[in-house]
């Protein structure tokens, strides 16, 4: 994990680029839920697994950002 993501604007831009696929996945999941595309239990299980994976990827970044903010 890159600890320089939260130091400056360039770092935040790099974070957005590095995690663009995860953000796109979450946007896709959100749209599917809003449009009612997900309708079966198996589809819900699959989307939950994807969302859990995204959370597992992004949560350390969130924790790091909070720690950086508190240390500043």
Q: What is the pLDDT of residue 71?
A: 87
Q: What is the pLDDT of residue 2?
A: 65
Total structural domains in the chain?
A: 1
Residue range of the domain that includes 39: 6-71
DSSP label at residue 40: S
Torsions phi, psi for 38 (to 5 deg): -80, 120
Kindly calculate the radius of gyration of the chain based on its CA atoms and give it in whole angstroms. 15
Domain-located, residue 44: yes
Domain-located, residue 1: no
Average pLDDT of the residues in 3-11:
87
| pLDDT score of 69 more than 90 | no
């Amino acid at each position: 994990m890159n600890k320089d993501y939260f130091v400056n604007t360039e770092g935040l831009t790099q974070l957005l680029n590095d995690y663009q696929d995860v953000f796109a996945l979450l946007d896709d999941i959100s749209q599917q839920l809003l449009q009612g595309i997900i309708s079966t239990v198996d589809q819900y299980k699959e989307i939950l697994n994807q969302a859990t994976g995204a959370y597992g990827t992004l949560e350390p970044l969130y924790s790091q950002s909070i720690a950086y903010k508190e240390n500043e």
